[in-house]
Structure 1
Amino acid sequence: MENPIIALQENISKLTETQKKVADYIIKNPLDVAFLTVDQLAGLVGTSTTTIMRLTFSVGYSGYTEFQKGLQEILRNRAAPQTRLEANIKEMGENNLWGRYVESQIDNIQDTINMVSPELLDQVMDKLVSADRIICTSVRSGLPVAQYLTHGLNRLLGNTQLILSDVSDWVDTLVNMTSNDVVIAVSFPRYARRIIDLTETAKKNGVQVISITDSYSSPLMKYSDIVLPCNSSSIAFHNSAVSSMFVADYLISAIAINYPERTKERLDKVNETLTNMNYHSIQ
């Protein structure tokens, strides 16, 4: 049986705004939805049962019942390791903050894996490897992810630059970019106005836009060719960058492994230069 989470992700661009809201809820709460009636789900999301039924039809299912069975099958396949994890966390004690944090981040990563398919990541890699220029941009909580991507991609490809969205100088760079270039925008709630402005401008200029954000209902969705949704929830007040950093690290590693003809010569030269400089030596 097809993974219903992947079915939602692959068809997200075809859904209405209301259906996207339902899809976001399902992707983030598959365990709950697997055992909710259609009326209960409609009440939680604040929509109609008709919208939910049309959503399941849109992604290739005969109805909500068949879609829900697909969710239950996923959970059965994951049940054993989840049970072990929950048991281990409980043994740590109810007041163990570290244990609760670890459990939360594992859940975030698993949610992100459910939302981001290998095929989608392959599309992202193809765009990055074939791009003339890559611009990574973010502010606040997403900035460490953009910085990490900039360092890794530039080390591999030599054509990547970091731009801070809240500094208006990005306009000077963007006006000369073309459809052969890529912008990677990283943004989580509350979404920075300048990142939205940047992605909108990039899209109008024909630049390819890849967004790393928290959901398909993010305002970046409107201006993105590809969206990589990463669960950014935390046990405190802030947006967590762990799952998005997980995706960023995968992209860097996968490009190095899958495109050695593009990366090996450059990596060898960088390594030789650093070695000759005794860069890693303390005299």
Structure 2
Amino acid sequence: MSDNDDLLVRIKEHYQSMSKGQKLIAEYIMAHYEKAAFMTASRIGEQVGVSESTVVRFADLLGYDGYPALQKALRELIRNKLTTVQRIEMSADFNDPNVLFKTVLKSDINNIRSTIEDIDEDTFNSVIDNIFAANTIYILGMRSSAPLAQFLGYYLSFILPNVRVVTSGVSDVFEQMIWISDKDLLIGISFPRYSSRTVEAVQFAKERKAKVVAMTDSHLSPLTKWADYTLLARSDMASFVDSLVAPLSLINALIVAVGQRKRGDVSMYFGELEKIWSQYHVYVGKEKDE
């Protein structure tokens, strides 16, 4: 079992040896683990009437390296089970307008930092290799991940001629992917709450022998079962809003890496585009000559 899977088992196994205060924490987590996963140690302590240090000792008793490790295990366990209403309930820490701005930005900074620590550079480079090897590159993102797919597709299409973005409704995803084959690549993007249609489409691509890249938040994500390569980006946000800062940063890195391998072609291509943009005044700039 992983740390995430056996967390509740650990609590049950250690329950009899816990202090009275630790038992209160255990009972609260067992009953409300979907909420506890997004609460600070001090907040859990306040909730059950114990000190923050008692919560930290509770994590140590279970064999975790401090409370953050316990909290991470909790978040992984329930990552895809939170409803939007529950996420709103989790955002009580954001009620103070004096700290909201910094709290949200610090959370995004932590997501990027964790993404840097978790990324496997060999996997990243293999994904770039497969992008260039593919006949067609399908980029799939549904619901809140749709903007990520569109952004990646928008910039990759400047560099490569064989990019197709799949983001539209439930009924026609498979129609758009009907010709996918073993010579193609699918980049499937999904973050909690995971889109069931994205998982089905990734499975469909894998069954058609296409190479599959999963861009998601955790190795526990349902996308990873069908993926040849997994790129992880953290998206933790204790609110109803998905934090997509780290995923977008990872996508930027992909685009830049692809662009660097075709630097000469990209420079020539954008040179032609600049002439067209200037001719048709696509961007704000010099006024038309009168």
The TM-score with structure 2 as length reference comes to 0.64
Q: Given the superposition, is the C-alpha separation of residues 223 and 166 from structure 1 closer, same or farther in structure 2, using an over 3 Å criterion?
A: farther
Unaligned runs of 5+ in 1: 1-17, 23-31, 47-92
Q: Which secondary structure does the structure 1 equivalent of 2:2 belong to?
A: helix
2:229 to 226, 230, 245: 226
In 2: Cα distance, 1:155 partner to 1:183 partner: 18
Q: Is the 8 A contact 1:141 1:240 kept in 2?
A: no
In 2: Cα distance, 1:181 partner to 1:213 partner: 20
Partner residue, 1:126: 129
In 2: Cα distance, 1:144 partner to 1:163 partner: 11
Q: Is the 8 A contact 2:216 2:230 kept in 1?
A: yes
1:155 maps onto 2:146 in alignment: no
Q: Read off the aligned partner of 1:199 and give its amino acid letter.
A: V
Q: Is the 8 A contact 1:137 1:164 kept in 2?
A: yes
Q: Given the superposition, is the C-alpha separation of residues 129 and 38 from structure 1 closer, same or farther in structure 2, using an over 3 Å criterion?
A: farther
Partner residue, 1:196: 199
Unaligned runs of 5+ in 2: 6-40, 42-56, 75-95
Using the TM superposition, give the Cα deviation of residue 166 of structure 1 relative to its aligned residue in structure 2, in angstroms: 3.8
Partner residue, 1:19: 2
Q: Given the superposition, is the C-alpha separation of residues 202 and 126 from structure 1 closer, same or farther in structure 2, using an over 3 Å criterion?
A: same
After superposition, the C-alpha distances for 1:39-86 in whole angstroms (9 at most, x for unaligned) are: 52399559xxxxxxxxxxxxxxxxxxxxxxxxxxxxxxxxxxxxxxxx
Q: Read off the aligned partner of 1:187 and give its amino acid letter.
A: S
In 2: Cα distance, 1:183 partner to 1:224 partner: 9
Partner residue, 2:215: 212
Q: Given the superposition, is the C-alpha separation of residues 129 and 20 from structure 1 closer, same or farther in structure 2, using an over 3 Å criterion?
A: farther
Equivalences for residues 43-192 of structure 1 within 5 A: 44=70, 45=73, 95-164=98-167, 166-192=169-195
1:41 maps onto 2:41 in alignment: no
Q: Which secondary structure does the structure 2 equivalent of 1:246 belong to?
A: helix
In 1: Cα distance, 2:202 partner to 2:257 partner: 25
The count of aligned residue pairs is 211
Q: Read off the aligned partner of 1:198 and give its amino acid letter.
A: A
Q: Given the superposition, is the C-alpha separation of residues 271 and 21 from structure 1 closer, same or farther in structure 2, using an over 3 Å criterion?
A: farther
Q: Is the 8 A contact 1:214 1:229 kept in 2?
A: yes
Q: Is the 8 A contact 2:139 2:164 kept in 1?
A: yes
Percent identical residues: 25
Structural RMSD (CA):
3.1
After superposition, the C-alpha distances for 1:234-261 in whole angstroms (9 at most, x for unaligned) are: 2422221110000001111121123325
In 2: Cα distance, 1:20 partner to 1:227 partner: 20
The TM-score with structure 1 as length reference comes to 0.66
In 2: Cα distance, 1:196 partner to 1:221 partner: 9
Using the TM superposition, give the Cα deviation of residue 176 of structure 1 relative to its aligned residue in structure 2, in angstroms: 1.3
Q: Given the superposition, is the C-alpha separation of residues 21 and 181 from structure 1 closer, same or farther in structure 2, using an over 3 Å criterion?
A: farther
Using the TM superposition, give the Cα deviation of residue 119 of structure 1 relative to its aligned residue in structure 2, in angstroms: 2.2
In 2: Cα distance, 1:182 partner to 1:261 partner: 24
| Bigger radius of gyration | 2
In 1: Cα distance, 2:172 partner to 2:4 partner: 34
In 2: Cα distance, 1:266 partner to 1:131 partner: 21
Q: Which secondary structure does the structure 1 equivalent of 2:194 belong to?
A: coil
